[in-house]
Amino acid sequence: MRLFVAVYPPPAAVDDLTERVARLRVAAATAAGINVRLADPANAHLTLAFLGEVAEDRLTEVTSTLGLAAETFRAGRDSSPRLRLGGGGRFGRGRFTVLWVDLRGDVAELSTLARLIRIGLRRGRLPHDEKPFRPHLTIARPGDRLDPADVAADQAALDGYLGPEWPAAELVLVRSHQGPHPTYDRLAAWPL
């Protein structure tokens, strides 16, 4: 099964971002019938670790590792990290272009949590992506189906965006199902 670990923004933060995205050129392209692979707001999440394919018989190890990481993270903290979606950027070029919104607030705390998760996964010899943690929320994957000037304009429009503040209240283990319309199943969650 294909797994990742995430924090989900609350509906108010997702709704606020959705209103902003509706004014971007990627949204206009979608309305015009261009497949820019606009992200489904119902699936909006911040990935802390991508595990990829994991055998079902290792699920207990994964959940134990994540539970310990969440418990270690909570130790000595009075509250959950406070976050906001704000600003934006782009990964890749050409057909690999991804447009995303950045994160503001207690990002260093979220990075600490991501590090604890990855340390635990490594110690347990559990599969995971070793790429450096870069907190972001994907908005669209326009690839080369949208003019680079339009992508740059959307990126500039996101520079002034700052969504509402929210607590990162729980860590979630998610199973993803690939396809034209990916779906996500929450398998387990831990308070932060």
CATH superfamily placement of domain 2-191: Cyclic phosphodiesterase (3.90.1140.10)
| Local confidence pLDDT in tens for the 192 residues of the chain | 999 999 999 999 999 999 999 999 999 998 888 889 899 999 999 999 999 999 999 999 999 999 999 999 999 888 999 999 999 999 998 888 999 999 999 999 999 999 999 999 999 999 999 999 999 999 999 988 889 999 999 999 999 999 999 999 999 999 999 877 788 999 999 999
Query: Is residue 175 within 8 Å of 2, Cβ to Cβ?
Result: yes
Backbone angles phi and psi of 105, in degrees to 5: 100, -135
pTM of the model: 0.91
Active site residues: 45, 136
Backbone angles phi and psi of 56, in degrees to 5: -60, -30
In the chain, where are the structural domains located? Answer: 2-191
Backbone angles phi and psi of 11, in degrees to 5: -55, -40
